[in-house]
A and B are shown apart, each in its own frame.
Chain A
Amino acid sequence: MIKKLIQRMTFWKLVLATIFLMGLYISYVRFFKGLGASTGLSDKFPWGLWVGFDVLCGVGLAAGGFTITLVVHVFNLKKYKPILPATVLSAFLGYLLVNAGLLFDIGRPYRVWHPLIMWNPHSVMFEVAWCVMLYTAVLSMEFSPLVFERLNWEKPKKIVKSITIPLVILGFILSSLHQSSLGTVFLIVPGRLHPLWYSPILPLMFFTSAIATGLSMVIFESYLSRRAFKKRLELDLLSGLGRVICVVLAVYFVLKMKDLYNRGALAFLLDGSHESKMFALEMVFGVVVPLILFSQRKVRESQGGLFIASLMVVLGFVINRLNVSITGMLRSSGVNYFPSWMEIGATVFLVAVGFALFAAAVKYLPVFPKEEANAEREFAYLTPKRANSIGSLTAEAEAKP
């Protein structure tokens, strides 16, 4: 019996089980002993890894959701429809995890609903709270057709589908507000956030980098799903995304550099400080190199190339958010902060839960298109070949007396 059980346990399942046990223990310490017992935070450094990674990065990494839904439903680029369900799923899971991360981080998690009835429109955090709640709701509605399809509930599926476009537009507005407002959060700390990162256009920078990263996450996830679940995804579709990422990265790079120039902060780049090195790391590794990679046709048309380049964008993005929330704040705080093992452990736990949920969803829900042929037929009228045949059909029709 036990032998059988052990045989069925693969290495990764064992790892996952260990992470879950650790997560349970950390949750116990966090919720019953408090933040002091579980984190490295202090009065002078009140925000750490849970804000910097779980919230700031979690939201950004989910940005593929609102961009792809907009492209498919509003701009009607049907080509991207096959990756839509997987993208919405990961955005939905991403936001669930952001919510979970917030519950870990805020001192009184059972009051998380307070912003619903206690308003302070002057607070960016108030806006963030509403965006999280509303966009999670929108995402769950965008995601629900997959569940309804599985359950064969035709009516609710129809209802949700009938409001798709208003829902997508609402989702786009909420998430662009949310992405940018995470940058606005840091506008209140001039003089505390290092001048390499503090900028009046932080909201715009957060928004732009989130789009590049959201799209990179789509490539990243597609690649992993392909390997893990043996699902096929079209390469030309992903290399199209690569081209877009290339453009967004270029815009972001110009924004960042021109902003440093405008504020006269270019000198900080070369002062050899820890901050300047971290800034160089984030820009070179996360922006410049992938920008060059994505601009190469060879890279865009190879699985591995796309994967590496998008992974770099994602990592660069994570470094950027951690730089803004931690590296850039350290010097002025006058104390030292490094995340405790429990902060890191809880983060690993939440990410692992995300992977597990993603795998479960892929297994039980129609996340990936069933047959390529089907999809092809559906969108055939968009391809030039079919357009020609339409032309000939029309000609035929006209020829008929």
Chain B
Amino acid sequence: MRKGMLIDTTICVGCQACEEACREKNSLPECNQSDLSACKFTKVFERGEYYVRKMCMHCLEPACASVCPVGALRKLEEGPVVYDEDKCIGCRYCMQACPFQIPTYEWSKALPRVRKCWFCYDRVLVGEQPACAAECPTGATLFGNREDLLAEARRRIVESPDQYQKHIFGEREVGGTSMLYLAAVPFEQIGFKSGLIEKPLPLLTWAVLSKLPDFVLVGGTLLGGVAWIINRRMTLEEERIQQAKLGGNRDAKSRNTLSRLLGRLGKD
């Protein structure tokens, strides 16, 4: 079953217990960064009268995992997008490709790693909830099956239509995310990216990449054919010259029938 979390920004009181729980769970150092960073996987932002927690969205079709040249980032069936630091070469394409600008880098280290929330996958895989959800005192962060959480979100919207926007952020954005958000005001007003497409981003590059084998085969054959035709014509022409020079002596034709047929593969 695909897991997820429902974050209800109308309930969050900004106590930052999730930040602390995350720091302990991942043994991160204390740090005062203004945004997510290599030492902060989740952060609560004050947006007007609401608090919004930011972390990896764990997309259903993650751009980061699709662009990683060595497959260091991987989407688990259970939901988490995880990272194998032994594979990573540090090209940072994941950071560039992420529509939410989530992955961070250990810029100050000589041998840096990509850092981001891993959805406490060690706990999720054995059916426990992530550290942040376990510590949340108000239930603003709720862990569960993504389908159940979607149903719950819809229920809340239907039950108190005045309190919620009719929009579950993460239901459809970039093909859907494991993290789902509810809000009382339009999401752009509380710092969410707007204008995200609903199509999973990896499809954009795959549309080109999937055609490459055809391109290689057709292109190679075409160029091979062109080379054959033109070179054979040149070979014949040269022969004519030779022949003409030698006064029409037929024996002076090319010594090698095969090379005449194919044109010359090698050149001088």
Interface residues of A (CB under 8 A from B): 31-37, 41-44, 46-47, 70, 73-76, 105-109, 111-112, 114-115, 118-129, 158, 161-166, 168-170, 172-173, 176-177, 180-181, 184-185, 187-192, 200, 203, 333-334, 381, 390, 393-394, 396-398, 400
Contacts and interface: CB of A to CB of B under 8 A. Distances in A.
Contact of A394 (B99, B216, B219, B240): B240
Nearest to A380: B241
A110 to B, nearest CB: 9
Contacts of A121: 209
Contact of A120 (B68, B97, B196, B248): B68
Given A111-B88, A165-B267, A168-B227, 6 more contacts: A43-B105, A47-B92, A74-B226, A114-B87, A162-B265, A190-B204
Given A41-B107, A172-B223, A165 B231 contact: yes
Interface string B165-204: 0000000000000000000000000000101110001101
A203 B204 CA distance: 12
B266 A127 contact: no
Majority DSSP secondary structure for residues of A touching B: helix
Contacts of A129: 69
B93 interface: yes
By CB atoms of chain A within 10 A, which of B72, B208, B245, B248 has the most? B208
Interface of B: 35-38, 63, 66-72, 87-93, 95-97, 99, 101, 103-112, 193, 195-197, 201-202, 204-209, 212, 215-216, 219-220, 223-224, 226-227, 230-231, 234, 237-238, 240-241, 243-245, 247-248, 265-268
A32 B37 contact: no
Given A36-B108, A111-B88, A188 B226 contact: no
Closest CB pairs A-B (n = 3): A107-B90, A36-B107, A162-B266
A161 B93 CA distance: 39
Contacts of B240: 390, 394
Nearest to A111: B89
Nearest to B237: A381
Contact of B71 (A41, A120, A158, A190): A120
A124 B206 CA distance: 8
By CB atoms of chain A within 10 A, which of B71, B195, B243 has the most? B71
Nearest to B262: A165
A13 to B, nearest CB: 33
28 contacts: A36-B108, A41-B107, A43-B103, A46-B92, A46-B96, A76-B231, A76-B234, A107-B90, A107-B105, A107-B111, A108-B90, A111-B90, A115-B70, A120-B68, A120-B69, A120-B71, A122-B205, A123-B67, A161-B267, A161-B268, A165-B227, A169-B227, A177-B215, A177-B216, A188-B205, A192-B99, A381-B237, A397-B248
A122 B224 CA distance: 28
Contacts, number: 208
A108 B223 contact: no
A138 to B, nearest CB: 13
A2 B13 CA distance: 75
A166 B67 contact: no
Contacts of B205: 122-124, 184, 187-188
A34 B109 CA distance: 5
Given A125-B67, A189-B97, A381-B241, A112 B89 contact: yes
A166 B266 CA distance: 9
B47 to A, nearest CB: 15
Nearest to B243: A397
